[in-house]
Structure 1
Amino acid sequence: MDIELLAPGGSYESVIAAFNAGADAVYTGGEMFGARANADNLTTEQLIDAINYAHIHNRKLYLTVNTLLRDDEINEKLYNYILPLYENGLDAVIVQDMGVFNYIRTHFPDLHIHASTQMTIFGKRTAQELKELGATRVVLPRELSLKEIKDIHENVNIEIECFVHGALCYCYSGQCFFSSYIGGRSGNRGRCAQPCRMEYDVIQNEKVLNPGDSKYVLSPKDICTLNILPDIIESGVHSLKIEGRMKKTEYIAGVVSIYRKYIDLYQKNKSGHKVDSRDIDILYNLFNRNGFNESYYKVHNGKEMISLKKPTFRSGNEALTSNIKNKYIGKKLKETFDVKIICKNNKPFTMCANVYGKEITAYGLIPDKAQKRPIDKDTILKQVLKTGDTDFSFNPVFLDLDDGLFLTVGEIKNVRRQLLELIYQEILSSYKRNIYGNSDKDNECVSVIKDNYHGDMCINISVSTYEQLQVAVSKEFINKIYIELQFFDEKGIKIAFDFINENHRQVYIAMPYVSRLKDMDIFLQEYKDTLDNETCIDGFLIRNLEQYYFLHENYPEAEYIFDYNVYSYNGYAKNFYVNNYNVVTTVPAELNLRQLKARKCNNEEFIVYGYMPVMISAGCCIKTTDKCAHNNTVYTLKDSKKNEFVTRCVCKYCYNVMYNCKPLSLFKYEKDIEGLNLKSVRINLTIEKRKETDNILSMAEDAFIRKIPVVADDTTTRGHFNRGVM
């Protein structure tokens, strides 16, 4: 298996420097739709130049289109944005949004699509489905272990890309709403404000677990995997990815050069991998956050992965950065070609280059007879070798020169320029593409539900405690009840199902937010008898695609509802899921009312109340600050503004859910919500006690059944219903 070293490029200068330092490929962003909106992103002209530079030197360039897009952005901008890059041979796009994925697959059929880490690809079923849909590569979550990566590699014939160096998010990629909810800057739109890098008190039972200078509990150290590169490669990873599009060019070039060294050494001697401590020091000097960790490849989480203290950044090693600049920045790589030069009587002056097995010839004038001083060998060779600031150099391997001929130096230069241009065009021509008949208006989105939904809008509820369930069942207007599997044990689930069925309500399992390799098999073992009772279960609320593919194999007749975090941000994504999977989608959480009307929400479910998760993490602040108790601990994170974020340990599946400091409450907007032609609204209950649950359901009844206006207060939030996100 070939190993690809994939580098970040936050600017045109850093893209070229990364190639110069040894990157096989570079991923970079343009002026739209990239997950680093604040980087010095490339213009279309710069992107085309970078694509050409990559191809001249047998490298690749990938474009980040890894954010969620609205319908108007797809319909009005996406096609014209991609088209010139596609025509000039762009190697791949990195995509998060399933609507964007299918749009590009339709309009740009020869363009490779890499499924972004933002897709939260947990396992082989999702990887296989993405391959069948047209993905050529999956970029896996940083949280997956070597064993999980290997399982995907051994079961799916698709390229795997994984991060090996750089910043580490605390949250599962694609599952973070922290920046979105507290400041309106969405990570799903490329504008994360990084609130995880701030200070927090971890509070349990009114006790601060991290007193003193240990407040950076959500700020992981950077990844450095030099020591375990062979393990990563042998697990099946094809592309070794360096993070850092927001970093300086010197950082990118320096890190790439070190990883290039050890990949080359590994390929020469697979059993002799040994890292020089001086190279670790170089990486440490380039950038670190209180040291490094080796990511989640061999550990699930741990205190040693977290900065805890405020990161101390070195002022910089001037000798190191100067050396990097001299080697890699502001320079060009050179491809060397053998050339033959013919300067003969009565024949045009010619230069021929062997370009990857094909002979390319440039023709000049027929030399004159020399009147005074004939052209000599040294003069010809001197001019031929002057390739200047081009991507090529020449190695003259043959010169056939007749005596007594005269040729101007200008004519030699002219033929040399012609040959350089012919080589340039010859190499790039194999990458060029033509596109026929597909315009940006060919496939504008039409909502899959063409007629408005005229049935009664149902009120559904998800419950996290048996107490909440008891209150929910007592309300006749509640239709579906979702049992949050993550907060019920096996016995509790059976009791809950029996109770719901006795009261003749529809019962659904709300699946965990995380479903890793072992989780789904354990799920089936524990709940198979219960689920096989056809009168017991009506369907599932799905939190990631791996769950859906697994469950649909086993329970094809169940109803499936995709939650808000299985993104259908635009009508293209919604149509894909409904048409292909016959599911109900949940209205996106980051669109405002105007945008929702434009997208159309027919026949969907809409969350109108609940403490919305802002982070789903493999990390655990209890384990970081104290010790793991394996008892589904509930704790609070308090920020510098005294906002308190309740967080729950989901020990069975080993992840944490951090909730927004205020619950979403949209009962006040009943008329606007009913105007969306929804199938149902949902109330998400998490930490609410019996009395509060009863009050919430009374407000829901007033709003949606009795049509009595509900007054909102400062203890709740409207989320993005009015403001939307950047």
Structure 2
Amino acid sequence: MEVELLAPGGSFESVIAAYNAGADAVYTGGLMFGARAGANNLTTEELIEALEYAHVHDRKLYLTVNTLLKDKEIETELYDYLLPLYENGLDAVIVQDIGVFKFIRDNFPLMHIHASTQMTIFGKDTVAFLKDLGASRIVTPREFSLKEIENIKNDTRLKDMEIESFVHGALCYCYSGQCFMSSYIGGRSGNRGRCAQPCRMEYDVLKDGKVLNPGNNKYVLSPKDICTLKILPEIIKSGVYSLKIEGRMKKTEYITGVVSIYRKYLDMYLNIPDKYNVDENDIKKLADLFNRNGFNESYYKQHNGRNMISLKKPEFRKENREFNQYLKEKYIGFTLKKNLNIKVTFIKEQPFTISTMVNGTEIIYEGNPVSKALNKPIDKETLLKQMKKTGNSDFDFTNIEIICDEDGFLPIGAINQARRDFLEKVRQYLISQYTRKSVENSNIQSDKNNANNKYIVDLCNKNTTKSVNINVLVSTKEQFKVSMNKDFVKRIYVESSDFSENKILEIIEEGHKADKEIYIAMPYVYRMADKNNFHRNYVKIIEKADGSLIRSFEEYLDLRKINMAKNCIFDYNVYTYNRIAKDFYLNFGGAQTTVPLELNHKEIEFRGLAGDEMIVYGYMPAMISAGCGLKTCNSCKSDNSTYEVVDKHRNRFVTKCVCRYCYNVMYNCKPLSLFKFSKEIISMTPDSVRFSFTTESGNITEQILNKAQQAFIYEKNIQEDDQSTRGHFKRGVL
């Protein structure tokens, strides 16, 4: 196959209909671990039935296991969930969590693994790393340009790596895998498949107290849906193998409509590329199915822009009844037919035989012996009539060759049963080409039995007397000066995007004179152009710094390439939800990992906190986006501005423009503050706790660090106020 058309399936009906409409493959979710928990996801029995249907018709089915998993879920549920699907030939799993990736590779060695867009893969070094780890495909971030895809495809290490990219459907505002907005506001985590889509709500954009989006232009975080029909040839030429349609939450009519139209144009490109031309009527049909004030062509040719954002509430769409009725009649509620050429042998005193060639293999069914007719023989016309009755099976006969004695006989019932048995034999043969044998993993049962026991042992072995190091992240020189004056501060992370090279060099020198460790906090985004930018401006300072705070795996691999990956601390957004993920990053060379922000205290204890760093204060990023609120409001000045995004409850989300790398960081409206839990946190034996400063003044920084000393050194009780949040430390996420 030159190119794959990949469709969403949110229900069993929509999965089958997507194949009927022309999808080469479908991605769908089961009842667990998928990024669309709100879809009408398939049961294991439905998944197996869908797999069989796909394989009979030479199609593929991929399962979404693209959320972050907690230790107990991996140890007690994941193996049993995947085992019957693995045995029945599941074509691939789509994975976000590196711990899940390792678990599947170790326990299901023949399973193809697709690295989800939720992994936030920023460059070709990460792709090469994932390939070596066992991935057969990567799903690019929606923000990738055609040049970035070409850069991956042209890497000699990656010639046989499949690239999957979105070509139609909803567009997230935040980089996938880096969004906490829904999690912070209502405890519904996008990393766990339960995003409440707060980006689709109304917001004001404020700069210096002035509203920049007056009137009805309030949907500043809501991108238009993407439609790439007109640039489909360019996407394919860039190296994209799998053209992915978004929409597992959409109706079956939407899925079939989008798939059928993209099938039309993909076939046009593959068969007559020189005459590729898009009919505007087809664009209108797609818009009738769903759009948000029109379409955009995603980030393939532009980095961001006002034209990509909906701005206004989508208008009511009048149903295109004629098109919807056509889709229902043509694609929904029936099964495809696989065409076979068969040979029927009806010779006296020989078995009634039906045979066919399938994929180069001859399949022969032998029924009851044909007897001599006593009265009315079975003639060719009768045999032909009975053979054509394929009914609601998966097959039709294109050509039927009949070799028949003139005086042979079998009861009509026996002939019909032979036809049904033959078709089932062909069906089972096709399915058997995908099924796998697996060996029961005795270690899994042991893990299940020991999971709760290990939790109890870990709690009993906690060291309640261990001291904890206090580290600080600073974004201003004023915050740095306050931190420098605190003897109990051991390490200072310097937010690299907020300082010039010379300023950081000055900070390193000052810090070392005061016996402080100075680490460079790497950018949140590290794409192809960003990597070059960092090399030009900051790579010299890595040598002088004591270590680095890593925000993406691409950064770590890049530092390794230039022999500067010393004392690398993986930040909270390089996810270590479970022990497998934590051990993976430490064994791969990380000095420390940072505790994920969405685990509650019991889950953190179960995962293990020893040797880790835990963030206990700070305005935490809610979104990292290629989109820019100021540019959307025609106010971009490329000057590293700070502005506010304000919701209907008047919550203010301070947002930084990181113009050197052209991304925005939107911070939560309240700071995380875990002072009141200091004794409990210390008892969990982290190596260090971190206080993260963003826009705080010197005075506020002073107050926070004084409280830090009282809480985490003297273990005094500290009262919290309503102006801060305890995050997920107690409640966690589902």
User: TM-score if structure 2 supplies the norm length?
Assistant: 0.96
1:198 aligns with one of 201, 215, 219: 201
* Aligned counterpart, 2:31: 31
Question: What are the Cα deviations for residues 467-488 of structure 1, in whole angstroms up to 9, with x where unaligned?
Answer: 0000000101000100001111
Q: Assess if the C-alpha contact under 8 Å between 1:385 and 1:395 holds in 2.
A: no
Shift of 1:590: 0.1
SS of residue paired to 2:577: coil
Question: What are the Cα deviations for residues 562-607 of structure 1, in whole angstroms up to 9, with x where unaligned?
Answer: 0000000011110111122243100010011111111111110000
Shift of 1:615: 0.3
Q: Assess if the C-alpha contact under 8 Å between 1:288 and 1:313 holds in 2.
A: no
Q: Is 1:493 aligned to residue 487 of structure 2?
A: no
Counterpart mapping for 1:591-630 below 5 A = 591-630=599-638
Shift of 1:406: 2.1
Q: Is 1:154 aligned to residue 154 of structure 2?
A: yes
* Aligned counterpart, 2:596: 588
* Aligned counterpart, 1:377: 380
Q: Is 1:246 aligned to residue 257 of structure 2?
A: no
Q: Assess if the C-alpha contact under 8 Å between 2:467 and 2:682 holds in 1.
A: no
Q: Is 1:294 aligned to residue 326 of structure 2?
A: no
Question: What are the Cα deviations for residues 509-555 of structure 1, in whole angstroms up to 9, with x where unaligned?
Answer: 001100010212221222243333xxx31100000000010012223
* Aligned counterpart, 1:470: 481
Counterpart mapping for 1:204-243 below 5 A = 204-243=207-246
* Aligned counterpart, 1:134: 134
Q: Is 1:564 aligned to residue 575 of structure 2?
A: no
Supply the distance in 1 between the matched residues of 2:726 and 2:587 (Cα, whole angstroms): 31
Supply the distance in 2 between the matched residues of 1:644 and 1:68 (Cα, whole angstroms): 28
Q: How many residues align?
A: 723
Unaligned runs of 5+ in 1: none
Supply the distance in 1 between the matched residues of 2:507 and 2:646 (Cα, whole angstroms): 33
* Aligned counterpart, 2:581: 573
Supply the distance in 1 between the matched residues of 2:206 and 2:63 (Cα, whole angstroms): 42
Supply the distance in 2 between the matched residues of 1:194 and 1:592 (Cα, whole angstroms): 23
SS of residue paired to 2:239: coil
Counterpart of 1:465, as a letter, is T
Supply the distance in 2 between the matched residues of 1:350 and 1:404 (Cα, whole angstroms): 16
* Aligned counterpart, 1:711: 719
Supply the distance in 1 between the matched residues of 2:462 and 2:721 (Cα, whole angstroms): 32
Q: Assess if the C-alpha contact under 8 Å between 2:384 and 2:400 holds in 1.
A: no
Q: Assess if the C-alpha contact under 8 Å between 1:9 and 1:28 holds in 2.
A: yes
Shift of 1:627: 2.7
Moved more, 229-238 or 347-356: 347-356
Moved more, 577-586 or 219-228: 577-586
SS of residue paired to 1:271: helix
Q: Is 1:19 aligned to residue 22 of structure 2?
A: no
Q: Assess if the C-alpha contact under 8 Å between 1:123 and 1:516 holds in 2.
A: yes
Shift of 1:443: 6.1
Question: What are the Cα deviations for residues 169-212 of structure 1, in whole angstroms up to 9, with x where unaligned?
Answer: 00000000000000000000000000000000000111000011
Counterpart of 1:409, as a letter, is I
Q: Is 1:405 aligned to residue 408 of structure 2?
A: yes
1:691 aligns with one of 693, 696, 699: 699
Q: Is 1:441 aligned to residue 445 of structure 2?
A: yes
Q: Assess if the C-alpha contact under 8 Å between 1:287 and 1:313 holds in 2.
A: no
Q: Assess if the C-alpha contact under 8 Å between 2:29 and 2:42 holds in 1.
A: yes
Question: What are the Cα deviations for residues 329-381 of structure 1, in whole angstroms up to 9, with x where unaligned?
Answer: 01111111111111112112111122222221222222232222211111111
Q: Assess if the C-alpha contact under 8 Å between 1:48 and 1:85 holds in 2.
A: yes
Moved more, 633-642 or 578-587: 578-587
* Aligned counterpart, 1:531: 542
* Aligned counterpart, 1:96: 96
Supply the distance in 2 between the matched residues of 1:206 and 1:43 (Cα, whole angstroms): 52
Moved more, 392-401 or 191-200: 392-401
SS of residue paired to 1:512: coil
SS of residue paired to 1:581: coil
Counterpart of 1:80, as a letter, is D
Q: Assess if the C-alpha contact under 8 Å between 2:569 and 2:590 holds in 1.
A: no
Distance 1:442 1:104, change over 3 A: farther
Counterpart of 2:77, as a letter, is K
User: TM-score if structure 1 supplies the norm length?
Assistant: 0.98
Supply the distance in 1 between the matched residues of 2:205 and 2:539 (Cα, whole angstroms): 38
Q: Assess if the C-alpha contact under 8 Å between 2:76 and 2:447 holds in 1.
A: no
Question: What are the Cα deviations for residues 79-118 of structure 1, in whole angstroms up to 9, with x where unaligned?
Answer: 0000000000000000000000000000000000000000
Distance 1:560 1:455, change over 3 A: farther
Q: Assess if the C-alpha contact under 8 Å between 1:644 and 1:661 holds in 2.
A: yes
Supply the distance in 2 between the matched residues of 1:426 and 1:128 (Cα, whole angstroms): 36
SS of residue paired to 1:362: strand
Counterpart of 1:20, as a letter, is N
2:688 aligns with one of 652, 674, 680: 680
Question: What are the Cα deviations for residues 648-670 of structure 1, in whole angstroms up to 9, with x where unaligned?
Answer: 10000000000000000001111
Distance 1:557 1:255, change over 3 A: closer
Supply the distance in 1 between the matched residues of 2:221 and 2:55 (Cα, whole angstroms): 40
* Aligned counterpart, 2:57: 57
Unaligned runs of 5+ in 2: none
* Aligned counterpart, 2:426: 423
SS of residue paired to 1:90: coil
Q: Assess if the C-alpha contact under 8 Å between 1:452 and 1:602 holds in 2.
A: no
Supply the distance in 2 between the matched residues of 1:72 and 1:443 (Cα, whole angstroms): 9
Moved more, 216-225 or 511-520: 511-520
* Aligned counterpart, 1:279: 282
2:469 aligns with one of 458, 465, 470: 458
Supply the distance in 2 between the matched residues of 1:396 and 1:483 (Cα, whole angstroms): 73
Q: Assess if the C-alpha contact under 8 Å between 1:177 and 1:613 holds in 2.
A: yes
Counterpart of 1:338, as a letter, is N
Q: Is 1:521 aligned to residue 528 of structure 2?
A: no
Supply the distance in 1 between the matched residues of 2:80 and 2:250 (Cα, whole angstroms): 29
Distance 1:653 1:681, change over 3 A: same
Shift of 1:437: 4.2
Shift of 1:494: 1.9
SS of residue paired to 1:707: coil
Shift of 1:441: 3.0
* Aligned counterpart, 2:658: 650
Moved more, 488-497 or 336-345: 488-497
